[in-house]
Structure 1
Amino acid sequence: MPQTINIAVHYELLIKKSRFIACVQPMTDRASAQKIVAALWEQHPGAAHVCWALLAGGQSAAVDDGEPSGTAGRPMLDVLRHQDLEGVLATVVRYFGGVKLGAGGLVRAYTDSVAQALLKAEKIPIIKQRFLICSAPYAMEGLVRREIEMAGAELNNVQHGNDVQFEFNLPDTAADALMTRLNEAGHGRIVWTNPDDTSSAS
């Protein structure tokens, strides 16, 4: 199951006088990640490199920022992927200590600094939600409300018109069972609306 983290976590590694300052944090998209990276350059004007990796939906990134190709961004991204993370940005600010580490040394340094930061991070499972809309006769409002509550769904909106319309979301894994229960209890009188068809005409 994919996971994310709830707050930023830092970790610092010293290898042959080079400082690797790692941070892992929740991140929604590439544009936001690039702002964080720009801010890190302002905070660390003397740094040699600010390397980063992002996993956020289809917006993944692996940036070596001047380190030999494949020695920083890609290994950092591999750590995020290996831990099945989503919506996470990993950054590493490197201050060069005067001793070259070689390609293997760099891969280890960037991998270890991100992995160590993640060890301290609290991981939260990402539960895919499904948004549902249904309408029921007034006489069935109580029944529908009880079923929605028992399924652990979050009721977003209820509208009273010719009938009662419910808008709610719940974990995707529980949606089909709830729909089946309501259909059986409603004897065909509960009508489901595709959320994609409800975009307002205004």
Structure 2
Amino acid sequence: MPYTIAETVTYEEEIKKSRFQAIAAVVDSEQAIKDFLLQYKDITTTHQCWAWKLGNQVRFNDDGEPSGTAGRPILATIEGNELTNVIVLVNRWYGGIKLGTGGLVRAYGGTAGQCLLLAEKIELIEKKEVQFSCQFNEWPIFQYELSQQQIEYTEEYTANGVDVVARLQVNQIESLKIKIQDVTRGRQVLNIIEEATDD
């Protein structure tokens, strides 16, 4: 079961006079990753190393540190925590003492790991966007059903009735399909608009 984190968290520590600061955040698209990196760009740092995981995609950046000593250990902590849709940025302000490759791996991986320990892990639930139509007199039944299951939806009134777009957890789709068939006596069906996305 994949998890993500509930909200942005930060953690800071000093290692042999260098200051390390980790920021972990939830991201749901490559655009969100770009926005995050832009938002946290800090020219006072010596290095800004990061890693992210989005579904099956992963990327990492050593930002001038020796290859494999920063981005990859950060990514390893994300994967070790079974997280996805997460970016972790570790800033370093160099304090004058070289840490060596082993020291860097421990510093970047450790700071990222401590930061993720502070984050609340939440289950990532797959959702799909669906669409269906109903008559005006049927809409209160569906409205009640959607509200009961805390499903987000938008409705649009047309000349013929109500067009509804909703975001459902994958495990809610089957019961709503049956409900639509029952209430509309087979007149309407549930249409899945897009492929599954992680929310």
TM-score normalised by length of structure 2 = 0.80
Name the CA distance, whole Å, in 1 between partners of 2:87 and 2:53: 7
SS of match in other structure, 1:104: helix
Q: Equivalent residues in 2 for 1:2-151 (5 A)?
A: 2-27=2-27, 28-29=29-30, 30-36=33-39, 39-41=41-43, 44=44, 47-57=45-55, 60-151=58-149
Computed over aligned residues only, the root mean square deviation of the Cα atoms, in angstroms, reads 2.5
Mapped to 2, the partners of 1:8 and 1:51 lie a distance apart of 17
Structure 2 CA distance for partners of 1:59 and 1:180, relative to 1, 3 Å: same
Higher Rg: 1
Q: What is the CA–CA distance in structure 2 between the aligned matches of 1:55 and 1:107, rounded to whole Å?
A: 19
Q: Residue type of the partner of 1:68?
A: P
CA distance in 2 between counterparts of 1:192 and 1:8 reads 36
CA pair 31-59 structure 1, distance change in 2 beyond 3 A: farther
Q: Deviations over 1:80-100 (max 9, x none)?
A: 122232332212222333333
Of 109-118 and 160-169, deviating more is: 160-169
Distance 1:52 1:189, change over 3 A: same
Q: Which runs of 4+ in 1 moved over 6 A?
A: none
CA distance in 2, matches of 1:145, 1:25: 34
2:180 corresponds in structure 1 to 182
Instruction: Please show how residues 185-200 of structure 1 align to structure 2 within 5 Å.
Output: 185-195=183-193
5+ unaligned residues in a row in structure 1: which ranges?
197-202
TM-score by length of 1: 0.79
Q: SS at 1:132's partner residue?
A: strand
Identity percentage over the alignment? 35
Matched residue type, 1:20: F
Q: Is the 8 A contact 2:22 2:88 kept in 1?
A: yes
Count of equivalent residues: 191
Comparing 167-176 and 146-155, the one that deviates more: 146-155
C-alpha separation between the residues in 2 aligned to 1:36 and 1:142?
A: 44
Task: Give the AA of the match of 1:125.
Answer: E
User: Match of 1:147, as an amino acid?
Assistant: E
**Superposition deviation, residue 72 in structure 1:** 0.4
Per residue, is there more helix in 1 or in 2?
1
